């Protein structure tokens, strides 16, 4: 995840962007069939999902349970010293709602072992370390118990590079990569996920007080309206005109997509 210092702004946009409308039932059918097919073809016994108490991991966990049943889904909660009581409450709420036990694996000791070895760094670097430690824990359980790691990233994060390379961006399956963040919220409500979870302020929890929209410098409603049009071939001026946003904001989002392309690719080679 890259450090940014953008100023958060609000613009006038439609409450629901028609280009972001989708069929929730059809998506759930496709996503659960995808998860089921990949698990069966790999010979895995099940899946493992890292849950944080946020909407993305809650939706991912729900899709996995619907796809292969609760007895084949391992949910891991990996708290550290910046984990809040609200995080814990939401994870517990999800566990009760799904009827799936959550296994807790604290990572603070491991993170600080790296600090002791390597020294301290800026909060972005340290936040990325936390994400990569969680990835290691997920793959430990995946390897030991013959499971696949199911990632929780959404399309908005993926396109803008708002994830840690080889951290939360690392997984075997990523069923939400076709949904923008605002669509994940829509799907969460359609699935009936508890509103307390759905209404939380989005945060990657890489450092204390971190918030997605503040770090990105833009609301997800605007970000998604730009991204969906960019992917459909609109030029920046047309996007700015249609959603009534300043052109420099659209240009900045397009640059985020372009500059983060390396994070969405396998290692470059000759």
pLDDT of 252: 94
pLDDT of 6: 31
What span, in angstroms and rounded, lies between the C-alpha atoms of 219 and 212? Answer: 9
What pTM value is reported for the model? 0.92
> pLDDT below 70 — which residues of the chain?
1-15
What span, in angstroms and rounded, lies between the C-alpha atoms of 71 and 64? Answer: 11
CA angle 40/43/49 to nearest 5° reads: 75
pLDDT of 270: 87
Structure tokens at 234: 């609109």
What would the DSSP string read from start to end of 173-216? B-TTTTS-HHHHHHHHHHHT--HHHHTSPP---SSTT--HHHHH
Q: Is residue 264 part of a domain?
A: no
Q: Is residue 70 part of a domain?
A: yes
Domain of residue 170 covers 23-213
Check: CB of residue 230 under 8 Å from CB of residue 195. Answer: no
* Number of independent structural domains in the chain: 1
Q: Is residue 128 part of a domain?
A: yes
pLDDT of 7: 33
CATH number at residue 147: 3.40.50.620
pLDDT of 214: 83
**Polymer length of the chain:** 270
Question: Dihedral of the CA atoms 111, 117, 122, 126 (nearest 10)?
Answer: -20
pLDDT of 269: 87
Q: Is residue 239 part of a domain?
A: no
Q: Is residue 8 part of a domain?
A: no
Q: Is residue 65 part of a domain?
A: yes
Q: Is residue 242 part of a domain?
A: no
Would you give the distance in Å from CA 59 to the centre of its chain? 10
- Cross-strand pairs, 103: 76
Question: Dihedral of the CA atoms 144, 158, 264, 245 (nearest 10)?
Answer: -170
pLDDT of 10: 38
Q: Is residue 45 part of a domain?
A: yes
């Amino acid at each position: 995840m890259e450090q940014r210092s953008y100023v958060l702004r609000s613009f006038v946009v439609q409450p629901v962007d028609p280009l972001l409308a989708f069929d929730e039932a059809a998506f759930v059918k496709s996503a659960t069939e995808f998860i089921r097919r990949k698990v069966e073809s790999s010979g895995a016994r099940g899946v493992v999902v890292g849950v944080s108490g946020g909407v993305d991991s809650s939706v991912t966990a729900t899709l996995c349970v619907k796809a292969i049943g609760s007895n084949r889904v391992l949910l891991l909660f990996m708290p550290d010293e910046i984990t809040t009581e609200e995080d814990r409450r939401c994870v517990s709420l999800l566990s009760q709602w799904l009827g799936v036990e959550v296994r807790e694996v604290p990572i603070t000791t491991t993170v600080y072992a790296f600090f002791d070895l390597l020294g301290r760094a800026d909060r972005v670097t340290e936040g990325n370390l936390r994400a990569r430690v969680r990835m290691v824990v997920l793959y430990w359980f995946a390897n030991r118990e013959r499971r696949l790691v199911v990632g929780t990233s959404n399309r908005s994060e993926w396109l803008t590079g708002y994830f840690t390379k080889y951290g939360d961006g690392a997984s075997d399956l990523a069923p939400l990569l076709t949904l923008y963040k605002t669509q994940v919220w829509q799907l969460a409500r359609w699935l009936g996920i508890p509103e307390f979870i759905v209404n939380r302020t989005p945060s990657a929890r890489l450092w204390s007080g971190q918030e997605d929209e503040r770090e990105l410098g833009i609301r997800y409603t605007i970000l998604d309206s730009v991204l969906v049009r960019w992917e459909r071939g609109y030029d920046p001026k047309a996007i700015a005109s249609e959603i009534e946003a300043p052109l420099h904001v659209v240009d900045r989002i397009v640059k985020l997509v372009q500059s983060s392309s390396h994070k969405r690719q396998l290692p470059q080679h000759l």
